Amino acid sequence: MDANERLERMGGYWDDAALKFDKQHDTEDLDQWRKVLAELLGDDRSKNVLDLGTGTGFLANMCAELGFPTVGMDISTGMMGYAVRHAMHRGVSVMYMTGSALDLPLMDCTVDYIVNARLLWLWTVEESEKALKSWYRALRPGGKFFGFVRMQEGVGMKVTGNLIQGVDNKMDSFVVAMDELEQLVRKCGYEDVAIKKLDGLTRPDFPDYDPWYVITGKRAETERERIAFSMAAFWDKSAAEYEPHHALADHEVWKQVLSGLIGENKDAKILDLATGTGMIANMLAEAGYTDVTGMDLSEGMMNIAIGHAAEKGLNVRYLYGNALETGLPDDCLDVVISSRLLWTLAEPENALREWLRILKPGGRIIAINELDDGAGIRTRSFTDSREYLKDVSPESFPFSDIDKEGIVETFTKCGVKGARAELMKGCRLESSDRENWFAFVGTKG
């Protein structure tokens, strides 16, 4: 029986068992459940909740009653039919959708909390690992999952026999100890993993039921993500004031110099990384390049870029993305260009390797930056650098205080062919008479 057939049969089984399953919740102390959920989910009602294996909506409707935007997901429409009716009866708004908890049909980093009850025992350890990784992908950095499972004290999660008729769930005499569960969750990347016994969830007149436990885990926020979020927040805040202090002088000179760096092929596929307010991307479109894309982390900056392109009738695409992880396919671009990006790179070598990955063989890297007295990048002389990040000092970034020879050396080390620094003669800011702009250029071998 393949995975799709097994899921289909499981869905059919739960369709038939929906009413019987729904009545099983009569064993539960609803007030105590609400109290536990409120403590776990916290006070921020802007965070969303995904209830996986939602069944008849026991957890989903309760989360909505607590004020959280909630989605319930299950493979059984028969079960969710009861969930929808319960939500209407209780006057709460929950969106219910079909989907497999083993492979969530959701974008990455879109869910704050994942909850589920009586779900993990349905799978083998291998399937549980697949599910946990899928949940990790969907959780936002810092997001958490809460898996409610009945377990035997001193034993763990135990299933004996094939409980789902007609479905080979491979679980005869299936036991997973609590420490094994914790290890499995940690293996899938979660941090702050814990298993906690929850007293009082089952009403006292049902003493034969195993106690409830909650398994918790948090999606770790990587250092790269933390820096990226801080950067985006800073530039969003700075967007409105950016252009008056960074306007480029003599656009015709800039267009001529940029065209010389890029080449005569006006159909070249060009990506302007950290495009900001679109100064370079829009200028390239004005110069006649027909396939220009701008990418940035900051929505505030790119909103300005999109507005400028619309005002001028320019055909420039804009995408949200990180210069370290563009999400673009291999070998898809002719040119990767950037302006004032180098000094903000916390991982310059990884960035260069990413740019080489998305370039076609022979494609060009063009990284533009002002240099201090023609020597190198010196962020200490930038008046706005002191507030650049709340948590990360710009001086800690490898390219924030480096001479041009060091930058060229890093380009070469990462595989950029013919890496060199070229003075952009005649290029300057409106607010400065200094011609101190350099392009660090090279090709993909």
Residue range 11-22: mean pLDDT, rounded: 67
Q: What is the mean pLDDT of residues 73-89?
A: 92
Higher pLDDT, 2 or 251: 251
Question: Of 187, 221, 255, which closes a domain?
Answer: 221
Please tell me whether residues 88 and 232 are part of one structural domain. Answer: no
Let me know whether 203 and 285 are in one domain.
no
H or E element at residue 139: strand 139-150
> Are 217 and 228 found together in one domain?
no
- 252: buried, middle or exposed (CB in 10 Å: 19+, 13-18, 0-12)? exposed
Amino acid in position 299: E
Residue at a domain's end among 161, 193, 221: 221
**pLDDT-derived band of residue 127, with 50, 70 and 90 as boundaries?**
confident
**Residue 323: pLDDT over 70:** yes
pLDDT, tens only, 214-250? 999 999 888 888 888 888 988 998 899 999 989 999 9
Mean pLDDT calculated for residue range 133-137:
95
Among the ranges given (5-19, 249-263, 287-301), the one the predictor scored with the smallest mean pLDDT: 5-19
Q: Say how many domains are in the chain.
A: 2
Highest mean pLDDT: which range of 20-29, 122-131, 158-167, 186-195: 186-195
Contacts of 383 (CB under 8 A, 6+ apart): none
Pair 151, 174: CB distance under 8 Å = no
Average pLDDT, the chain: 88
Higher pLDDT, 23 or 187: 187
- Residue 390: predicted pLDDT: 54
Query: Does residue 95 share a domain with residue 70?
Result: yes
Residues 192 and 263 placed together within one structural domain of the fold: no
pLDDT of res. 362: 98
The domain containing residue 418 runs over which residues? Answer: 224-444
pLDDT higher at 311 or 78: 311
Whether 354 has a pLDDT exceeding 90, the answer reads: yes
Mean pLDDT of 33-47: 97
Question: What is the pTM assigned to this prediction?
Answer: 0.74
pLDDT of residue 363: 98
Tokens of 444: 């993909």
pLDDT tens digit sequence for 376-417: 776 554 444 445 455 555 556 888 778 899 999 999 999 999
Please tell me what DSSP assigns to residue 221: P
Percent of the chain topping pLDDT 70: 85
What pLDDT is recorded for position 388?
47
Confidence band for 74, pLDDT divided at 50, 70 and 90 = very high
pLDDT in tens, 213-222: 999 999 988 8
Q: In Å, what is the CA distance from 23 to each residue of 20, 79, 112?
A: 5, 12, 29
Q: Tell me: the pLDDT tens digits for 146-191?
A: 999 988 887 777 665 445 454 454 434 456 788 888 999 999 999 9
Q: Is 182 exposed, middle or buried (0-12, 13-18, 19+ CB in 10 A)?
A: middle
Do 122 and 270 belong together in one domain?
A: no
Whether residue 199 is found in the same domain as residue 311: no
Give the Cα separation of 323 and 320 in Å (integer).
10
- Helices 299-312 and 223-246: angle between axes, nearest 10 degrees: 40
CATH code, domain with 300? 3.40.50.150
Residue written as token pair 């000179």: 253
Looking at residue 126, what is its pLDDT? 75
User: For residue 260, how many C-alpha atoms fall within 13 Å in the half-sphere facing its CB?
Assistant: 13
Do 59 and 170 lie in one domain? The reply is yes
Q: Which residues contact 207 (CB under 8 A, 6 or more apart)?
A: none
Co-location of 306 and 433 in the same domain: yes
Q: Among 194-198, 337-341, 377-381, 385-389, whose mean pLDDT is lowest?
A: 385-389
pLDDT at 5 over 70: no
- 293-308 b/e (C-beta count within 10 Å ≥ 16 → b): bbbbbbebbbebbbeb
Cβ atoms within 10 Å, residue 371? 20
Q: Say if residue 71's pLDDT is above 60.
A: yes
Same-domain check for residues 243 and 329: yes
Q: Does the pLDDT of residue 336 top 60, yes or no?
A: yes
CA gap 11, 355 in Å, rounded: 45
Rg, C-alpha atoms of the chain = 28
Which residue in 67, 424, 147 sits closest to 280, CA to CA? Answer: 424
pLDDT of residue 159: 61
Which residues face 439 on adjacent strands? 368, 422
Q: Which of 157, 190, 221 is the last residue of a domain?
A: 221
